[in-house]
């Protein structure tokens, strides 16, 4: 069986940046399992895996423009410090470097990194942490199967390596 749209794929991989830093890994004990070709991964990532079979090794680079794009200065925003107050806000939340899950004005989830804290504002960076980075992947394909109708309907893998309801 070959990797194509709608297949549940399990891979091992190492993601390195051009600096040599390892940014992410998945091993045989905990492979990365996803439905191929439905937007769960970068389009360029899917393209490089198309047609591979179980046991195939891969090594490819996704350039920044096909990955997480360029750093956008408009994605660095000052937010009123008052938003980070209240009984449900952890006392240690406001620390430089913390990643904070938030929502945009339409309710879509996004994560920002705290870059600066003043008496009145918190400067948040909503650029992806890997913006401006080429993504170098090496790994192998460990499993391929058809996605179930329920998995396709839900948009994620169920069972081992996936979501459990």
pTM to 2 decimal places? 0.81
For 72, what's the count of Cα atoms within 13 Å in the CB-facing half-sphere?
9
* Residue 88 pLDDT: 87
Q: Where are the domains of the chain?
A: 7-68+130-154, 73-125
| pLDDT, greater one: 104 or 96 | 96
Q: Residues 48-67: pLDDT tens digits?
A: 999 999 999 999 999 999 99
Rounded to an integer, the average pLDDT of 110-128 is: 95
| Architecture of the 73-125 domain | Beta Barrel (2.40)
* Residue 164 pLDDT: 46
Q: What DSSP designation does 147 have?
A: P
* Residue 53 pLDDT: 98
Q: What DSSP designation does 101 have?
A: E
Nearest partner of 59 among 12, 23, 20, 7, judged by Cα: 12
CA-to-CA dists, residue 37 to 11, 40, 123, 128, 131, angstroms = 15, 7, 35, 21, 22
**7-68+130-154 CATH:** 3.10.50.40
Mean pLDDT rounded to a whole number for the chain: 93
């Amino acid at each position: 069986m070959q990797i194509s749209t709608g297949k549940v794929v399990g891979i091992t991989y190492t993601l390195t940046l051009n600096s040599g830093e390892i940014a992410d890994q998945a091993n045989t004990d905990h492979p990365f399992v996803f439905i191929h070709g439905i937007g769960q991964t970068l389009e360029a990532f899917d393209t490089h895996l198309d047609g591979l079979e179980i046991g195939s090794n891969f090594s490819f680079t996704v350039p920044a423009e096909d990955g997480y794009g360029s750093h956008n200065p408009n994605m660095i925003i000052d937010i009123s410090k008052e938003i980070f107050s209240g009984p449900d806000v952890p006392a240690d939340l406001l620390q430089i470097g913390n990643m904070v899950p938030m929502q945009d004005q339409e309710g879509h989830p996004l994560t920002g990194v705290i870059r600066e804290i003043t008496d009145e504002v918190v400067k948040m960076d909503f650029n992806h942490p890997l913006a401006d980075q080429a993504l170098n992947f090496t790994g192998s394909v460990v499993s391929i199967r058809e996605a179930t109708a329920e998995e396709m309907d839900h948009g994620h893998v169920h069972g081992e390596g996936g979501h459990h309801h």
